[in-house]
Structures are given as C-alpha cells and as structure tokens.
Amino acid sequence: MSAPILDVQNVTMRFGGIVANRNVSFSVERGAITALIGPNGAGKTTIFDCITGFYRASEGRILLNGRGTSEDIGALITRPITGGSHLVTRAGIARTFQNIRLFKEMSVIENLLVAQHLATRNNLLSGVFRTRAYRNAEAEAVDRAYYWLGQMSLVEDANHLAGELPYGRQRRLEIARAMCTSPKLICLDEPAAGLNPSETKDLSDVIRRLCADHDLSVLVIEHDMGLVMRIANHIVVLDHGEVISDGTPESVTNDPAVIAAYLGVS
Ligand code: ATP
C-alpha cells in the first residue's frame, strides 16, 4: 500500500486551559474518502484548522506526503491564522468551511480567480502586468475557473454575485473554489449542512466523482450519517478531543465506544 497522503501524528491543540484535541493520530489514504465524525464539540473543526494552517498545533506533527517527500505542515505555518494557510494551500491542501465563507460581494467567477491568485506561487497580482507570461497565466486561470464551474454545474451563474446564489449553489461554489487551487487533498467541513435530501444525494455523487476522476483524496467532517455511509472508505471518530474509533464504516458503526459516545452513555 502507498504512503498516506496525510499523516496526523499525536496532535494536541490547546486554547489556554481548553484542550480541543488531545494526542490525535490518524491518516488519510491516497485516493480515498475519509470521514471525520463525532458529537458536537468533539474537536473536528479544530483538527481541520490545524491541518489547513489556521492554527499551529500545540504538539504533534502533520505530514503531507504529496510530493514524494514528507512535508511538515507545522513548518509551513509561519504566522497564526491566515498567514500559514496560503502556504498550506500551495503545498496541495484545500478546504471548505462549516459556515460558508465566500467573497459574497464578488461575482462567482471572481471568487474562483481570487482563490487562484492566492494559491499560485507566481502570484498574478504581483506579476508584471501586460507581459505575455502574465496574460497566459491569467487566461489559464479563467479556463480553470470555467472548467470547475462546469464540473459543479454553475456556468450559468458565472457573472452573478456569489452572495445572491441559492444556498445549495453557494456550497457547490465553495467546492469549485477549493478545486481551482488544484489540491491533492480537499478538506470539506460539513458540506451537507443546510442542504435538502436531494442536494445531499447530488453532493455524494460530486464528492465520489472528484475523488475518482481527479486524483484527489478527501477528508470530510459530516454529521449526516447517510452521506458518510454512502461515500466514506474510512471513518475516524473523535469524542472530547480524542480519537475513540478508526476503521472501516462497518467496524466503526458497530463499535460500542462510538455507540456510547453518540447516545451519551459513559
Ligand atoms: P461541531 O460539530 O459542533 O462543529 P467540533 O467537533 O467541530 O464541533 P470544535 O469546534 O473543534 O468541535 O471545538 C472543540 C472544542 O474546542 C470546543 O469545546 C470548543 O469550544 C473549543 N474551541 C474551539 N475553538 C476554540 C477557540 N478558538 N478558543 C477556545 N476554545 C475553542
């Protein structure tokens, strides 16, 4: 079996006296869909924030193995909050958010172009304008944006304001924006939140297709167990900041520790 795309090793995250994650270890296999589940407040989003460079973990290491050599995500995080996240994006990790974070006053297509400006090492915004290289890079960015709008069935919305799209389309736009940065790993934080059953079913198909057709590995936080069971190859369960179960969907859902955590039995 090939090395995992992501290896989270003994990560602890403290906020003052609050321990949001304690000694968390798990890995994400290349080309697979891994679901991260657990009750409210279990520490799921916090571990995402460590993986995607919003926080530097208090302890432990997070290794991205997408370039053949391991890359320590912590070492990419030079400043807290957004300072490190662009570097993590450039290393090949993209994410979406539990509460949609689009540039709502910009058009749909502009959202995708801005994401590429932030993710590209040869930052287009700081490039020398009117050079051929700049124009080529810009044309490629537009092509890539339209490609992902097509994949997410959003082409007709290209010039609409992002904030005026119906909610389900905003969710798809967030995925398109993440995919525009050509990630190796995408981290989806509750992508089905607020979607109706039909939109959730479509989302399952979209996630599976992304994984199969685009050499992508997926880490997804989700409360909708129907979606999790439809798409996940592997499930990691957090409770009170710690991993309490890790394995196939079948083994995890039959694990007495998981049943107890969800039913509130100790
Ligand atoms: P949910 O399913 O409700 O989104 P979660 O599993 O994603 O929850 P987190 O949001 O990671 O859980 O929160 C884990 C714990 O860490 C909670 O007790 C939360 O209050 C705490 N926490 C998270 N972020 C901070 C912060 N910036 N400062 C202090 N405490 C925090």
pLDDT at residue 237 greater than cutoff 90 = yes
Q: How far is the CA of 43 from the centre of ligand 1 (A)?
A: 5
Atom of ligand 1 nearest to the CA of 20: 16
Give the pLDDT of residue 10. Answer: 92
22 vs 42, 87, 151, 210, 234, CA distance in Å?
10, 25, 38, 31, 21
Q: What percent of the chain has pLDDT over 90?
A: 57
- 31, 217 Cβ separation under 8 angstroms: yes
pLDDT digits (tens, 9 = 90+) for 120-154: 554 445 555 556 666 677 778 888 999 999 999 99
Tokens (6 digits) for 151: 């994949």
Output phi, psi for 104, to 5 deg.
Answer: -70, -25
Q: How far is the CA of 37 from the centre of ligand 1 (A)?
A: 14
Output phi, psi for 237, to 5 deg.
Answer: -110, 130
d(CA 14, CA 234): 27
- 217, 5 Cβ separation under 8 angstroms: yes
Report the chain's terminal Cα–Cα distance, integer Å: 36
Token pair 């589940």 in the structure block, residue: 37
Residue from 10, 15, 16, 17 nearest 59 by CA: 10
Look up the ipTM and state it.
0.96
Helix (H, G, I), strand (E, B) or coil at 185: strand
Atom of ligand 1 nearest to the CA of 47: 11
Supply the DSSP string of 8-40, one letter for each residue: EEEEEEEETTEEEEEEEEEEE-TT-EEEEE-ST
Task: Please indicate, yes or no, whether the overall pTM of this predicted structure exceeds 0.80.
Answer: yes
pLDDT at residue 68 greater than cutoff 50 = no
Ligand 1 binding site (Cβ under 6 Å of any ligand atom): 15, 18, 20, 38, 40-46, 98
pLDDT at residue 83 greater than cutoff 50 = no
Q: Is 237 exposed, middle or buried (0-12, 13-18, 19+ CB in 10 A)?
A: buried
80 vs 15, 75, 77, 191, CA distance in Å?
13, 12, 7, 25
Q: How far is the CA of 143 from the centre of ligand 1 (A)?
A: 38
The torsion of the CA quartet 189, 195, 200, 202, rounded to 10 degrees, works out to: -110
**How open is the CA angle 57-182-111, to the nearest 5 degrees?**
90
Query: What is the residue with the minimal CA distance to atom 4 of ligand 1?
Result: 40
Give the pLDDT of residue 54. Answer: 82
Atom of ligand 1 nearest to the CA of 48: 11
Q: How far is the CA of 236 from the centre of ligand 1 (A)?
A: 17
pLDDT digits (tens, 9 = 90+) for 156-180: 999 999 999 999 999 999 999 999 9
Query: What is the residue with the minimal CA distance to atom 15 of ligand 1?
Result: 20
Give the pLDDT of residue 131. Answer: 66
By most ligand atoms within 8 Å of CB, the mutation choice from 44, 99, 238 for ligand 1 is 44
